[in-house]
Amino acid sequence: MTASNENPPTPPPLNTREADAIDVLVEHGFDLAQATNARPDLANELRSMSASMGELDGYVTGEPDPDLVAVTLARVDRAARDEAARMSTRSERSRVSGMGQWRDIVAVAAVALLVVSVAVPVLSYVKSQKQITACSANLYRVASGLEGFVGDHDGSLPMAAGFMFPNGALPTTASHDFHASDCLDQLVAGGYCKGECCACPSDSEADPNYAVQIASPAHPLHWRTGVRRPVVADRNPLLDLLRAGYSVTILNLNSPTHGSRGQNVLFTDASVEFVTTSGVSVNGTIDQLYVPCDRGGLEDDVCSFADWVGSDTFLAH
């Protein structure tokens, strides 16, 4: 009898439930009872697969081929190493991803710090410019008021002789009751401008005032005629220091109203200019806004008002 060369019939493939039953049996060490307790819904499939596995025990097998065992173990070892490598890669990716997240956070923080370091000065500058502009607009309103006052008073400005310092003394104490800027009240009383025109909107002092040119009967101011001279400006910083009890050794200070960056000045030609130094050009000569010039031609002492030359620029409040 000759052996048949026909191939044995191919067994039907496992369905999904049978495949699941085998997985459950493997998970429970082929213990049918434990597998059934774990998946009672697969009880029939578990019994069938367990019985089929049991038939394998009936096959007589010889000693395994050592080469086949070595190849199989090598494949298992290689699979284990590959899995370990994949795990390591995932861990590294996770670590790198975490580092990337930290780098992103640091980058965002750096950008935020940069924005703050740039934005704060910019916003501060914008705010200061708005305050300077508001003050300038205010002085233009003063100029309009002076225009109306001069027209109604035969060309005279409200800076009259009656507003000179009493007895030629410069009031430098906190208890003084003299304000050179009181002359601007005449503009308010006459309806030439509103009360808020008498001080810079940014003046945070308890008694906000503009500084005005001190009157001199021998050298009266002329509105829109003659030499272009300062007539109103932000408050005098030297008088503030003296009245607060400080000695003054530096005379070329800017008004504190705009953070000592400079001061707005209204001139007799009705123009307003923001100057960054307290020295302005008057008739071709640099003249200090806030320091009186003595008879020796020096602007070296705030308290030398008794020797003040009336033609000199000296604004006080």
Residue-wise pLDDT tens digits, 177-221: 556 667 788 888 889 988 888 889 888 887 788 988 877 766 777
Q: Quick check: 266 pLDDT over 90?
A: yes
With pLDDT > 70 as the criterion, what percentage of the chain qualifies?
59
Res 2: pLDDT: 44
What average pLDDT does this structure show over 249-260? 88
Q: Grade residue 286 by pLDDT with cuts at 50, 70 and 90.
A: confident
Rounded-to-integer distance, Cα 159 and Cα 184, Å: 8
CA-based angle 255:260:265, to the nearest 5? 45
Closest C-alpha among 280, 311, 126 to residue 214: 311
Q: What is the pLDDT of residue 37?
A: 84
Query: What proportion of the chain, given as a percentage, has pLDDT over 90?
Result: 14
Reported confidence tier of residue 117, pLDDT bands at 50, 70, 90 = low
Task: Please name the residue that has the structure tokens 């494949």.
Answer: 75
Which pLDDT does position 238 carry in this prediction?
Answer: 86
CB 265 within 8 A of CB 232: yes
Pairing assessment for the beta strands 272-275 and 315-316 based on DSSP bridges = unpaired
309/295 Cα distance (integer angstroms): 6
